Structures are given as structure tokens and as C-alpha cells.
Amino acid sequence: MCRTSTLRPCSTNKRISYIHIPTRILGIDPGLRITGFGILDQSGKQLRYVTSGCIKTPDASLPERLKTILNSLTEIIQQHQPQQVAVEQVFVNVNPKSTLLLGQARGAAICAAVAANLPVAEYTALQVKQAVVGNGHAAKEQVQEMVKRLLQLPAAPSPDAADALACAICHAHGGMGLGALATAGFRVRGGRLVGGAR
């Protein structure tokens, strides 16, 4: 699966150069109560924020909640026309029922993508945090802060939207670690993001 922007040859004065055609990526952090989404454009190593937000399901039956996730993501896909989708994998916890419910929310999110004929990539929470923060066990606040810095946002997004954007960032860089991102000078010390040399 191609995770980088498309290259198109451009001839100028008998010299061939290449311009990057942006690839639009939709990141999804699935949840039965709140599903985060984040969209960015990737052009080479450059990332540009498009939009992000949360889908909040009603206090209703499971089928109704899944319908809300499916319909909302379908509408987002139709409106913003992403070309690729990245979804966070389910974390298996000590509560089998919670894991099963989260898996169904994730299934609804994936269905919205495949119904639009979009390729879907999957990443674990550890992979996403490692790619964005450089620490696979980073706290949510660290993810929010690094997403804010990477995408040059005026404020940190909500935790669920930040996780979705982080998933899209991870996908844009092929799931690679912090060294592949434009985060020179940032590191983790004492559980906080800091700048400057070690």
C-alpha cells in the first residue's frame, strides 16, 4: 500500500523535476461512545492539517450507536474525499465485554471506509505513540502536544481527535518512529515533551 504522496514529472527548461501531489489521509480512533477522526494532507514529508473532531453516539442501543458511527464517517468521507484511511487497532484489556464492544465500533468505522472503496491500514496504539512521540507508552497529553506541534495547530486537539490525527501521522510516515518525523529538538523527559539538546 502506498503511503506517500504521488510524484508527477514536470519538465522545465529541459530539466525534469517532480512535484508532490498531496495524499489525503483520514485517521480514526474508534470508540463506542466517542469516535475521533482527523484528516491531513501529506505532500512529501510535509503534513497539512485539514480537519478533526469527534463523533458522539447517543445513549441508545448498540445497533443505533453503530449506525451513528457508520453514517457520520460516511458523511465525513463524502465531504472531505480522503484517499487512504488509518485505524487504530483494538487494545485487548482485562474486560472482554469492553473489548468486544470496541471491536464492533471499529468494525463500523472500517465498513464506512471499505464501502467508499478506500484502502485501510491498521496500527496499534504502541505503534502510533512511537511514531508520533517517540515513546510507545506516552500519555495522552504527550500525544496531544506533539500532534499540536507537528501540525502547527493553535491549540491541542481533544484527546480522541488527537489520537485520530496521530494515527494519520503514523500512516503518513509508514509507521516509522520519531526519527522519520520533523521533530528535531523534541524529546521526552520525566513524562513531558521538552526541546533542546540532551
- The residues carrying an active-site annotation are 29, 88, 160
Q: How far, in whole angstroms, is CA 151 from its chain's centroid? A: 12
- Phi, psi angles (nearest 5°) of residue 150: -65, -40
What is the helix (H) or strand (E) element at residue 64, kind and residue range? helix 62-80
> Rounded distance, CA 34 to CA 161, Å?
10
Residue 55 and residue 75 in contact, taking contact as beta carbons nearer than 8 Å? no
Q: State the burial class of residue 15 (Cβ atoms within 10 Å of its Cβ: 0-12, 13-18, 19+).
A: exposed
SS3 75: helix
Q: What are the residues facing 120 on neighbouring strands?
A: 85
